[in-house]
Amino acid sequence: MWKFTEINAVMLTSKYLKNTNEQLEERHLEYEMAFAELDSIYSMERQIQNILQTYYSNDSGVISSILDSNRFNRISAIKTKFDKDRIYDYSMYNNQNLNSYPNILPVIGTITKRFELNGSHKGMDFSGKEGTQIRSTAAGTIKKCVFIDKLTKAEAMIDSITSAGNTIVIEHKYNDTVFTTVYSHLKDILVKEGKYVSKGEIIGTMGNTGNSNKAHLHYEIKVNGKHVNPEKYFNH
């Protein structure tokens, strides 16, 4: 009788320990997920800060206030996950190699149209306020400046070249690759052909020229002459 009672007690203890262990494992998994979420938020914030530093150079107060006001204004269901490998310091842009690589946003605005692999839209559209500053996404040489703001909308729609409105084309040499970035529908062009521009330098302002019905920037990237999706290069 005593042995039966002892065995029963051991079995009950074993069952209790098993249940406790399962609960601890579940809690451990919850902690792991929580830490992963925090790491993801931290990574995302670091990348936002890197982008903002392009537009608010040496103004930590502005950057901090923007981050603080938006830190909790996000919807988890659509939150983008970021890998640690994609975090980089803004100081790395001073590296001549990365300096010629177009991996920053040309403007802070709302993406209204994306790249179409099998369609006719070979770039990205950013909407915003007319006159918003547009920046070069990499260091390079201004290859072309097209001024067509004096044409009427009807005239601009006839010609496929002038339909892009006031446009800047920049060539960037990155190792053995030649990148070409295109900035269209500009209001103002603030650079001249042949000028060398640095990464993040202001080159123009957002406008509504050419075949356009509202102020926006049409931005393209070409790699060795072929169009590619610009989103693949942001933050890399």
Q: Which positions ≥6 away from 16 have C-beta within 8 Å? A: none
| Residue 157 counted as domain residue | yes
- Please indicate, yes or no, whether residues 135 and 50 belong to a single structural domain of this protein: no
In the listed set 48, 70, 92, which residue is the last one of a domain according to the structure? 70
Say whether pLDDT at 196 is over 60.
yes
**Domain match, 29 and 115 both:** no
Residues 56 and 107 in one domain: no
Reported as a single tens digit per residue, the pLDDT across 115-136 is 988 888 899 999 999 999 999 9
**pTM score of the predicted model:** 0.59
Q: How many domains does the chain have?
A: 2
Structural domain boundaries, residue 227 = 101-232
CB crowding 213-226: b at 16 or more within 10 Å, else e: eebbbbbbbbeeee
- Whether residues 111 and 213 share a domain: the answer is yes
Q: Is there a domain that residue 54 lies in?
A: yes
Q: Are residues 14 and 113 in the same domain?
A: no
Q: Which residue has the tokens 């640095």?
A: 198
- Residues 52 and 145 reside in one and the same domain: no
pLDDT tens-digit series, residues 61-104: 655 665 555 544 443 333 333 333 333 333 444 455 688 999 88
Q: Can you tell me the distance from the alpha carbon of 124 to that of 126, in angstroms, rounded to the nearest whole number?
A: 7
Last residue of a domain, one of 53, 70, 87: 70
Whether residue 49 is found in the same domain as residue 116: no
Shared-domain flag, residues 58 and 10: yes
* End residue of a domain, out of 49, 70, 91: 70
